[in-house]
Amino acid sequence: MQVDYAKVKKVYFMGIAGTGMAAVAGMCQQAGFDVCGSDGAIYPPMSTMLERLGIKVFTPYDPTNLENAKPDLIIVANALSRGHKELEAGLASGIPYTSFPALLGEHFLKSRVPVVITGTHGKTTTSTMMSYCLSKLGEEPGYFIGGAPHDLPSGFELGKGPFFVLEGDEYDTAFFDKASKFHHYRPQFLMINAIEFDHADIFANLDAVNSEFKRLIRNVAKPEQIIVNGNDEVVRAVCEEVGVWNKVTKTAPYKAIDGATVTVTRAEAESGTSQKWVVELQTKSFGKLAVKTHLAGSYNAANIAQVVATFDVMKQAGAIKNLNSEKLVEALQSFRGVKRRLELLASVGGVDIYEDFAHHPTAVEHVIGAMRKTCPGRRLIVAFEPKNATGRRNVFENEYVRVFGLADHVFIGECPLDLRIPEDRRMDTFKLAKSVGQKAHAFKTNDDLLKNLAEEAKSGDVVIFMSSGSFSGCQHRLKDALAAR
């Protein structure tokens, strides 16, 4: 639906408690719109953020919410589908409606330079890092990030400078727009960190995922302003099929390749500390750079390489002036990352408790590998919650068996029953634990998991909670359980 934003004064976000929806709601408020919204229920951190912004939220969903709000435009969350009572009332009302990605593209990005970060892994950390570095370099960027940064006031900002950084999600846009969100973002500079099969609820296979990335690549005017992980074989195959592999800007985070703009020559935990990694990079424009980072793991070295390469391309394109490599390194070294990305929550009785967003087998493997090098010799306990639409399916069962085998002990939490998934495709956590072996245990409830984990953990252990959901707060409750013990 075409929207005349000049006539819009009051914007209503239907499904406002989602991370992306809440961020765009805050951005609309910054832009001067009167903003409100609705949701079925709302909890921290989104409830806290919206309350701080003074944005009214109607709960639960009800057709009368729209009658009370009287909006000029409705933004519909992609979680809502036909048959939803408030959505049906909105459609019947004749009030114009759209999605938040379309709102961003049509209203906020037309006069900006979009820097879009995409890929199966690393989007949130890399988009936050890019936004933070641009801010530290005085560029005053706008940004839209699907997470909670440690070093920025929030996950969104209109900004005053030309650049607008966006986390580009390949998930579909809305019930009326099944294309990936990132197609709305008009990238002038595009990062592709990695491509794997994910989102099994909307993509049939990897080819379906690749099709969305091919379309995205074709819509970037200058292929040299596409920055890719040159060590990712799927990324390479996609670029070759589009005919841009020899034109795109490549990084080499894991092994050297011909023509790389940035090559990671070293990435390892700094001796004598578990809080810093040393990343050394060979670059075309900046020479050799050495970064002491708060971010652990070779996968984060890959994220750093993508950011450095993007600044290199911006410099070559004349898009950024007076780029000082020393200030760039200084910004990278002070960057503390994003909440829930291998975040140390507490240390109690010699037990370190971490939280990570990992839910895809590759991410789980990366995190375990990073912690093996960061905390050598310590027992590593993984607590995993199969929360998202892909995790509730058994599509990655064999991969989970392999990567959980890399931990010393595995606690698998409850898996929500989703009747939309055929029975033979649902995740069976008890079968998964049995396949992993004696080191793994599955639990019917997260409370049962917490009880057993608190009894098992001992001084010297590292416990990592992995989930794309809340994990019933177990990652925070373990601290109290250990302290009481």
pLDDT of residue 4: 86
Reported confidence tier of residue 274, pLDDT bands at 50, 70, 90? low
**Token pair in block for residue 381:** 């306990």
pLDDT tens digits, residue range 337-365? Answer: 888 888 889 999 999 999 998 889 999 99
pLDDT of residue 220: 97
- Averaged pLDDT, 278-296: 94
Lowest mean pLDDT among 124-133, 272-281, 301-310: 272-281
| Residue 452, pLDDT above cutoff 90 | yes
pLDDT over 70 percentage in the chain: 99
pLDDT of residue 247: 97
| Residue 275, pLDDT above cutoff 70 | no
The structural domains of the chain, with segments of one domain joined by +, span 5-98, 102-334, 343-484
Instruction: Report the alpha-carbon distance of residue 104 to residue 144 in Å, rounded.
Output: 9
102-334: CATH topology is UDP-N-acetylmuramoyl-L-alanine:D-glutamate ligase (3.40.1190)
- In 3D space, the residue among 452, 322, 432, 321 whose CA is nearest the CA of residue 381 turns out to be 452
- Decide yes or no: CATH 3.30.70.980 for domain 5-98: no
Mean pLDDT of the chain: 93
pLDDT tens digits, residue range 90-135? Answer: 999 999 999 999 999 999 999 999 999 999 988 999 999 999 999 9
* Interstrand relation of 113-118 and 97-98 (parallel, antiparallel or unpaired): unpaired
pLDDT of residue 141: 97
- Averaged pLDDT, 211-227: 97
What does pTM read for this prediction?
A: 0.91
Contacts of 389 (CB under 8 A, 6+ apart): 199, 200, 201, 418
- 83: phi then psi, degrees, rounded to nearest 5: 100, -20
Top-level CATH class of 343-484?
alpha beta
